[in-house]
Structure 1
C-alpha cells in the first residue's frame, strides 16, 4: 500500500537540505529570499549546513549529505523537506539513506532530486512529491500552477485533488530580469497526444527526470517490479518523464533500457514534460521517439505537459492513483490519495 504524509494544520516547519547541489555564496540571497517568502506565508524554515556549500558538483561528501537528510526525516519538529534545487550527483547518497527509519513527511522537488523521490517511493511505499523547488518560491507571487503544491500536499489520505494544465509557460530562463512571479510565462501551453487530440489515462504515478532516474535501473533502489507487487497490487502505472540535457538518441537509448528492464510493464501511458533541449540527431526528433514508443508499447503517449525544467509544473505525487485527461491541448490531472 501507499502511505501519504499529512501536513499539519497551522504552523508547519520546512526543512531545507541539499542532498544534491548546495548553493554557492554569491547565490545565497536566493535561498534567503525564498525562506523569507515562506515565513511570510506562515511557515517556519530550518536550513541545514549543506544548503550553503558547493564544491566539486555537490554540496558536501555523500555521507554528510545523507546524514543531514536522515536527521531531518527523523526530526519530529520538521514536517516537510524542500531542497534548494537539483544538481548532478544525488545518486551518491542512496547507499547511506536510512530507508527503514524514514518518518512519514513530504519531500518536494525535481531534477536530480527525482532520483531520491523515486527511490524512496519504490523502496518504502511512501508517497513523494515531484514539483517546484525552494529557489522558485522566492517570488512575491506564484503562478496558479506552481501555487498548487500547497493544496496538493495538504490533501488528506483518501481524498482527491485536481490540477489543470497551465495557461502559459516559460520558454527560456532569464535570471537577469527579475519578476515578481519568478517565471516569465509568455508561451501558450498545449498538451499534445501522439496520434490524436485527446487521451485518457488511469494508473499509479511514477516518474522524474529521465537523465538521472535511468541510473536506478539494475540497483536496489529501482526495483519497479517489487514496488508493483508489494505496494500497488500490480495496478497499472502512468509514467511522467522529463528531459533536462539529453540529445534524442540518448533519450531513445534510455527509454529502450527502461523497457528492457521491465519499467514499462503494466503501464497504461507515458507523459513527457516540455523540453528546452530538443536536439535532433540526423533529423531524429523527440516527436519521432514518442511515436515509436506509443507504437511499440501500444499505449497513449502525451507530451509537452507541465513538468520539469520548462516551468511551470504540475505537482505529481509518486504512488498516487491518477486520472489524466487531455483534450484539444488542455490537460486535467486528478490525483486520488488512496492506499
Structure 2
C-alpha cells in the first residue's frame, strides 16, 4: 500500500471538481469561505478549471474535461494534496477517461472526498494500491465555526492525527441553505451506536449475550450460517483489518465493470483481512439489501473481519418489515464477524474521516467508537 506525503506547513491544497462544482448556492459561498480559511492557516490553494463550473450533467463539466482535470491535478507538482469540491451524481462517467496507469506510476498523493467521490477514493486503493481519504469535500471547510470532524479531517491530511472517535451528536435536519451558506452542522440527535457480534463469540467470552438478544429474520426464526451461530446485540466489540469501502450507491454501480478489481485487491492483502466501511445515500432499505447481496455475490466480502455502516439517508425507514439494520445484517451475519451500525459516516453528518487502505483497529465500548489507523 502506498501512502502519500502529508500536507506540510505552507503547502498547497489543490481542488478539483470530478463530480459537482461549487457553482450555485450555498456551495459557492461556502467554498469561497473555505479557500479563505485554508489561506488563513498559511496554505496556498490551486484551483482546477472546473471548481466553479456547472456545464455538465450530474458533474461539473463533460466527462472528458472532468477526467482531464482530475488526472492532471493528481499528477501535478503544483499542489501537495487534492480535495474534491463536492459530491454529485455521475462521476462514474469520467472513469473511462481517467489515466489510472499514469496515476499508479506517479507519486502517490492524498485525495479526499466522499459520496460520488467514492469513484476515486475506492479505485485509487483497489486499482493503484494507493491510500486515500474518505472525508469532507471542499465546501464543508467553509462552515463557521468548524465542527470537530472538520478539524479531524485537517489533522488526518497533515499527519497530526491517526485516531478517530465518535462524536456526541449528529444532524437530522440541516439548517444550511442558500440564504445561510456558512451555518455549521445542526447536531441535535444523540449518537447511538448499534453493535452486533456472533452469538458464540459472546458466550465464549463469558456469556454476556442472551437468547433475548438473538437477531431474527422476517419469519421470527434466528438465522445462522455454517452452524448454530446467530447474532447478538452487544455493548462492545473489537475488530482489526484493512479499511475499504465508501458510498454503497457508487460501489454497487462499479460491481462487475472493468473498474472492479476488488477480488485481485483482496487477494493481495488477504493476510490482513478487511473492514468494510459503508454508507448509503439515495438507496432505500431494499436498495441497501440488494446492494449488499450484489457485493456479496461478486465475492467482495471474502476475508472480511467486520462491517462498519454509517447512518443512511433513509435512517428510520421501515418497508414491509425491513429496516436499515436487517438490510445490512441479512448479508453481514453470514460472515460471523462484528457489525457496527449508525456510526459517524456518510450523508447524515458529522462523519469521521477515514483512510481507505489503511490498517485499523476498531473498538466499540460503552456506546462509543474508536478507530486507530496504521499506515503499513
User: Is the TM-score greater than 0.5?
Assistant: yes
Q: After superposition, what is the alpha-carbon deviation per residue over 1:18-44, rounded to whole angstroms, capped at 9, x for unaligned?
A: 101123344422221111111111121
Does the 8 Å contact 2:21/2:51 carry over to 1? Answer: yes
Contact 1:122 1:221 (8 Å CA) reproduced: no
Kindly state the Cα deviation for residue 233 of structure 1 after the two structures are TM-superposed: 4.7
Q: Following TM superposition, by how much is the alpha carbon of 1:97 offset from its aligned partner in structure 2, in angstroms?
A: 1.1
TM-score, scaled relative to structure 2 = 0.84
Corresponding position of 2:50: 50
CA contact (8 A) 1:19 1:69 kept: yes
Q: Structure 2 CA distance, aligned partners of 1:321 and 1:79?
A: 23
Residue aligning to 2:254: 216
Could you tell me which residue of structure 1 aligns to residue 300 of structure 2? 263
- The C-alpha deviation readout for 1:282-307, integer Å capped at 9, x for no partner, is 12111222332342222211001010
Equivalent residue for 1:155? 159
Deviation string 1:116-174 (CA, Å, 9 cap, x unpaired) is 11011100100000011111110233222231112222339xxx821111111111222
Closer, same or farther: CA 196–187 of 1 in aligned 2, 3 Å: same
2:86 is equivalent to residue 111 of structure 1: no
Distance 1:40 1:269, change over 3 A: same
User: Displacement of 1:73 after TM fit?
Assistant: 0.9
| Residue pair 1:208, 1:242 contacting (<8 A) in 2 also | yes
Could you tell which deviates more after superposition, 109-118 or 215-224? 215-224
Unaligned runs of 5+ in 2: 197-232
Equivalent-residue separation in structure 2 for 1:115 and 1:172 (angstroms)? 27
Report the CA distance shift for 1:234/1:216 in structure 2 as closer, same or farther (over 3 A): farther
Q: Equivalent residue for 2:19?
A: 20
Separation of aligned partners in 1, 2:7 and 2:175: 36
What are structure 1's unaligned runs of at least 5 residues?
A: none
User: Is 2:283 the counterpart of 1:246?
Assistant: yes
Q: Is the 8 A contact 2:242 2:272 kept in 1?
A: yes
Paired residues for 1:181-260 under 5 Å: 182-194=184-196, 195-230=233-268, 232-260=269-297
Q: Distance in 2 between matches of 1:222 and 1:328?
A: 38
Contact 1:91 1:116 in 2 (8 A): no
Q: Report the Cα offset of residue 8 of structure 1.
A: 4.2
Greater RCO (Cα-Cα under 8 Å, separation 6 or more): 1
Q: What's the offset of the Cα at 1:197?
A: 1.6
Runs of 4+ off more than 4 Å? 177-181
Could you tell which deviates more after superposition, 137-146 or 108-117? 137-146
SS of equivalent residue, structure 1 residue 82: strand
Pair member with larger Rg: 2
Alignment coverage as a number of residue pairs: 333
Q: Secondary structure at 1:65's aligned position in 2?
A: helix
Say if 1:169 and 1:311, in contact at 8 Å, map to a contact too: yes
Relative to structure 1, is the Cα distance of residues 53 and 13 closer, same or farther in structure 2, using a 3 angstrom cutoff?
same
Cross-structure match for 1:131: 135
